[in-house]
Chains A and B, each alone.
Chain A
């Protein structure tokens, strides 16, 4: 061993020992029982209904971008639930542990969580929500929608797409493992250095944190490469740059920042692992190390990362608002410029996360101004959405109410962001719950955009709409929860409360902490309505079937193909004539045209390799966490061999026969005809769109 490890190590099991399983902690044991019971129930159900083959063929080995997207979203939802439970524990601990007289349980002096346990929970909360909930859900939606919007049959690299999914899933699984074997990092989602170094975090927690980050980082980088390649190279004929739908532009800008910034994260964490595994001194306080280096490297990724998650959300708003305003998006060119403006500025502002580190005033001044610059393109976006609504005909259906609420979050979040960017304000509020409230409002904006987008595109993917009544209940309860948690949180920030306190010394904060707890109750209640919405929608799906154009006023290309989308997306690669292609076709009366003849379609074959790669990566990470060198070497060798073997595989694609295409199309369009009129109102009566072969399509307007 090159470093001084506290505790035993053996060649076979590394640091792993029975004592590492937290069996005395009733909370964890309870959770474990619950998870096992749930897992057994699911596995049992799959076996009982004989669905293993279906699961393997249709999901686990798929390379279909829509199914991969759905699985990304499912992983994200599971992790969202876990992250929410963490949040509820943080809030309840803080509400219970106020003042020196508050009671303590389970070994804690106040509340029911010991400091170390509390630290792990909020670290897990942050890591999970950003890397394993928000990111996968957004990547999932981009995965589903972008190829449809550019008129492609799949992503540029379908196999790579599946690899990205399974690596991200492995990362999520690793975080879950930390719950039951060993412990997790306690030093905050961004890792406080040198607290993360071996002398101050002697357990395996930080190692779990490092490898979970690394897995998701590699997964997201691969996803970024794929989406960029898809947008640049796979656009249908006629889909010129300035005809790209806004969500695709947003995805492009987001993935350019992810591709350029995630590698920095990989390096910054790799250096930390060298410190922890080999005893180097990159970030230690002594021996020539410098912890400030870590702050720089981490936030050079960290800030672009927050824009990586918000840009797609902005893209969603830009899709939803025009459709429900029955109007063209205002200022398209400005919106594109603004997206890239935000992406561009995001590289040059990272220091605002540590204004308080004592940099020279000139340096702080530079980053204060550069940070404020972000406000310009962001402001432009708000105004453009406003002018999109101006002189429209607004319909407040589910996607639209989520989108409209998101606009207000952007106003408050943006204003508080600008307050943080004002350096001397930041001296007062940095590390306070005011900053926590700021970024939660921003992240909630994303959540609202996601709920809007899910309601918006759900019928495209599944062929029926989500229930409106339960959905509205969910919206209002969720919004009430948001207000009840975050208005008190801002107030507490002004009262001086800092973040990450597991014990609250000041009694005057109690009432507001209780209010936040009430908000958590509202959030939990709202989740019931979400489940009810999904259940009712599924039950009544026959009543809510839609045609290709689910909303009647949809505008972009994805609405030109049937709902649910056939596995090959478009029977013919469409020829694009205008910016809002589907709206253009409806106006020009060619939306109903259909083909009478089909050609064979070239598609990628399913493969189990990505799943195996994900599983091997999970075991590799686990072995590295526990320092079982033999197992790590074995997994690494397995991964390398598998990747090499796969790169020689020739039989990776096939041709769908014209008859098969015809069969699928006929079935889909027959269904659409039967229900088309109702879903689309008088306007797109019996609208059938679908890909027009180049031969049939009129030439683009001059």
Chain B
């Protein structure tokens, strides 16, 4: 209930700023327009945080302005050149910030456990429910594409994430080369995706829709093109999509993945699908990287993007020819 009210409040504020800013619609405020359980919890706590702080900061700002006006020299107000100490005021001056920080700390710690990427307590009930079972997805960030492997379905989707709505989704994430940040503003906050390591993330979409996801941590030349579309769809539609992907003509095993992971900027952003995906590619990648495997960036690779794209197209055409 509380969440609904807070959410409504935000929508109002967002709307207000829309009027002020003109041109941007309130739906563009992805951070407030949360469509998943995790992101809604985050917004809920952000509102608490901001409100508590405004209770202190607005009066302080007003007081400063008042003092600047009231005690300007020409006003001729009370003047006490030597007044510089008062125990009562010192107590307030220390007390107010201490109290505020105590309240905020309480909420902050509470929130951390609720949306803990490894074990979010807000999803605990949904995860324990007999159905729908949580969906597991392995995420691999390459230079510079997002690879989503659905181990149970044996499919791999590049540059597009499809998930069933109202179903907990559990991610394992790693990277082939450098650090990226996995981020879908309307569904879940950021988590660092690091090479040779495995982190986890969890989310549950509560509304059907298409949400933008991208890498938030600078990872090199192709970083700006690392955005992916996330479709939260009803579960029947998800089943249908899986079936379709399982028909994809291209297959994937580690040897192919090794070639696939070479630096490549996905300027077109077109998604690709692979079926018959060899189990264990995720763990294989983590293991190889831990043993020192790298996919190096060639020198001067992107110093002329136009030329780079021409080359990319040529080599793709060649590969198609060979197939």
Contact = CB atoms under 8 A, between A and B. Distances in A.
Interface of A: 6-7, 104, 107-109, 114-117, 119, 186-188, 192-195, 199-203, 281, 284-287, 291-292, 325-332, 334, 354, 356-358, 360-361, 364-365, 368-369, 372-373, 375-380, 382-384, 386-396, 404, 407-408, 411, 414-415, 418-419, 421-432, 491, 493-496, 498-506, 508, 511-512
A411 B54 CA distance: 10
B246 interface: no
B93 A380 contact: yes
Given A494-B32, A505-B224, A369 B185 contact: no
Contact of A104 (B81, B84, B96, B306): B306
B108 to A, nearest CB: 5
A411 B192 contact: no
A699 to B, nearest CB: 21
B227 to A, nearest CB: 5
Contacts of A108: 305-306
B219 interface: yes
Contacts of B197: 285
Interface in B22-52: 22-25, 28-32, 39, 41-42, 45-46, 49-50
Given A383-B89, A502-B223, 9 more contacts: A107-B304, A192-B219, A202-B296, A379-B93, A383-B96, A386-B63, A391-B83, A394-B67, A394-B68
Contacts of A281: 292
Contacts of A396: 72
A425 to B, nearest CB: 5
A368 B61 contact: no
A109 B306 contact: yes
Nearest to B109: A365
B100 A380 contact: no
B108 A389 contact: no
Contacts of A498: 181, 183, 214, 216
Interface in B162-220: 177-179, 181, 183, 185-186, 188-192, 194-197, 199-200, 212, 214, 216-220
Given A328-B83, A422-B104, A506 B73 contact: no
Contacts of B196: 285-286
Contacts of A411: 57, 60-61
Contacts of B49: 418-419, 422, 425
Contacts of A365: 108-109, 112-113
B101 interface: yes
A380 B94 contact: yes
A119 B218 contact: yes
Contacts of A382: 60, 64
Interface residues of B, number: 119
B1 interface: no
Nearest to A430: B190
B291 interface: yes
B66 to A, nearest CB: 9
A195 B73 contact: no
Contact of A358 (B45, B199, B292): B199
A424 B89 contact: no
B179 A325 contact: no
A503 B224 CA distance: 6
Contact of B41 (A291, A424, A426): A424
A413 to B, nearest CB: 11
B17 interface: yes
Contact of B192 (A328, A358, A373, A511): A358
A408 B57 CA distance: 10
B316 interface: no
B67 to A, nearest CB: 4
Contact of A114 (B30, B223, B302): B302
Contacts of A200: 143, 177-178, 220, 294, 296-297
Contacts of B78: 391
B72 to A, nearest CB: 5
Given A116-B302, A422-B45, A285 B108 contact: no
Contacts of B181: 356, 430-431, 498
Contacts of A284: 292
B97 interface: yes
Contacts of A109: 267, 305-306, 309
Interface of B: 14, 17, 21-25, 28-32, 39, 41-42, 45-46, 49-50, 53-54, 56-57, 60-61, 63-64, 67-68, 71-73, 77-86, 89-90, 92-94, 96-98, 100-101, 104-105, 107-109, 111-118, 143, 177-179, 181, 183, 185-186, 188-192, 194-197, 199-200, 212, 214, 216-225, 227, 267, 269, 289-307, 309
A503 B225 contact: yes
B189 A428 contact: yes
Nearest to B215: A498
Q: Which of A6, A361, A377, A512 has its CB near the most chain B CB atoms (within 10 A)?
A: A361
Contacts of B68: 389, 394, 404
Nearest to B198: A358
Q: Which of A107, A372, A393, A414 has its CB near the most chain B CB atoms (within 10 A)?
A: A393
B316 to A, nearest CB: 17
A192 to B, nearest CB: 6
A358 B60 contact: no
B285 to A, nearest CB: 11
Given A115-B223, A415-B53, A419-B46, A495 B309 contact: no
B276 to A, nearest CB: 29
Given A291-B179, A365-B112, A431-B181, A7 B299 contact: yes
Contacts of A375: 97, 100-101
B178 A286 contact: no
B21 to A, nearest CB: 7
17 contacts: A115-B222, A119-B218, A195-B218, A201-B297, A328-B84, A331-B89, A361-B113, A386-B64, A394-B67, A423-B108, A428-B46, A430-B189, A431-B216, A495-B30, A496-B31, A505-B269, A508-B25
B57 A358 contact: no
A211 B85 CA distance: 49
Contact of B31 (A428, A430, A502): A428
B115 A358 contact: no
Nearest to B268: A100
B90 A334 contact: yes
Given A386-B63, A500-B218, A505-B227, A202 B297 contact: yes
B6 to A, nearest CB: 14
A427 B42 contact: yes
Contacts of B98: 376
Contact of A427 (B30, B115, B224, B297): B115
Nearest to A388: B84
Contacts of A415: 50, 53-54, 57
Contact of B42 (A186, A192, A428, A506): A428
A6 B296 CA distance: 10
B84 A330 contact: yes
Contacts of B111: 422-424
A119 B221 contact: yes
A358 B79 contact: no
A98 to B, nearest CB: 11
Nearest to A22: B303
A428 B39 contact: yes
A395 B41 CA distance: 48
Given A361-B116, A391-B80, A502-B224, A192 B97 contact: no
Contacts of A203: 299-300
Contacts of B21: 491, 511-512
A506 B298 CA distance: 29
Nearest to B27: A508
Contact of A115 (B53, B116, B191, B224): B224
